[in-house]
Amino acid sequence: MNKVIVLGSINMDLVISSPYMPAAGETIMGNDFITNPGGKGANQAAACGNMGAQVYMCGCVGDDVFGEKLIDNLKSFGVNCDFVRAVKGASSGIAVIIITENDNRIILDSGANALVSREDVDRALEVAGEGDILMAQLEIPIDTVIFGLKKAKQKGMITILNPAPANKACQPAFEFADYLIPNESELELLSGEKVLQLAANKLFEAGVKKLIVTLGSKGSVFVDRNDLTYVKSYKVKVVDTTAAGDTYCGTFAAELSRGKPPLQAMDMASAASSLAVTKKGAQMSIPTWRQVADFMKSYAERGAVD
């Protein structure tokens, strides 16, 4: 099994459910408040860990009350945190999440995530070699992401970029990413096109090599210049969509690290993200490899596969 190094954000999520989204100046009563470790990078690392991958986290936390808790939580998923730096005088990243009508809205304060540097990347990639995987997102400085992907390619690594939250400034990273994994809205923002194949063509022209688009309840699709290959969805009762995309990306990377082909890795990732939305929270909702495997088996036995 190859190593997976996740370069990205580490947050503490402050989550509350609401009957609806309040208007400007309005105060309403919410319920079910929780604090839950999150951040796209940390979520993806936790998913890799739960899938049994050998995973390292590269990122930053603050020296506040949340920093140590965030590191301890990642370790509980089997994530190596040797390359998580605690920044003196900085606050940890915070995400305020409002859940309403089976959807969510998120407000971020980057905190220490904004301080992830090239030096942090250099330290983490010292343990990596040819065939290992680097996965990144866009909740840390884009220049650091581009540097990390480029250096990983120089070392012969497999690189994955989840361009979330979507930002057109990440385009220079495309040439260094073996896989780009946006969702539908991110694909449209990055390409300026609503039609999937037209959007994909724009990204291929911009340097994208392999494109996987997550489609929520419709599954996901592997896109090349000539064809679209859809991977089925798994129908479940949705409770909270937080971290569904991160669970998908982390599971995909973990399966690639086992040598699984992309379409097979996508199927496992689709099942894992489906299980994740049946529970509240970010990392607390991420299933284990055994849970996903059992779910896929029982789903097939019920004859419920689309």
Per-residue pLDDT of 60-90, as tens digits, reads 999 999 999 999 999 999 999 999 999 999 9
Instruction: Determine the Cα–Cα distance for residues 10 and 61; give it in Å rounded to an integer.
Output: 7
The structural domains of the chain, with segments of one domain joined by +, span 3-20+32-296
- Tell me the C-alpha to C-alpha distance, in Å, between residue 184 and each of 139, 172, 212, 220: 18, 20, 10, 10
Phi, psi for 132 (deg, rounded to 5): -70, 170
Task: Give the active site residues.
Answer: 246
Q: Mean of the pLDDT values across residues 202-218? A: 94
Give the 3-state secondary structure of residue 137: coil
What CATH code is assigned to 3-20+32-296? 3.40.1190.20
Q: What is the pLDDT of residues 231-268, one digit of tens each?
A: 998 999 988 887 899 999 999 999 999 999 999 999 99
Q: What is the pTM of this model?
A: 0.91
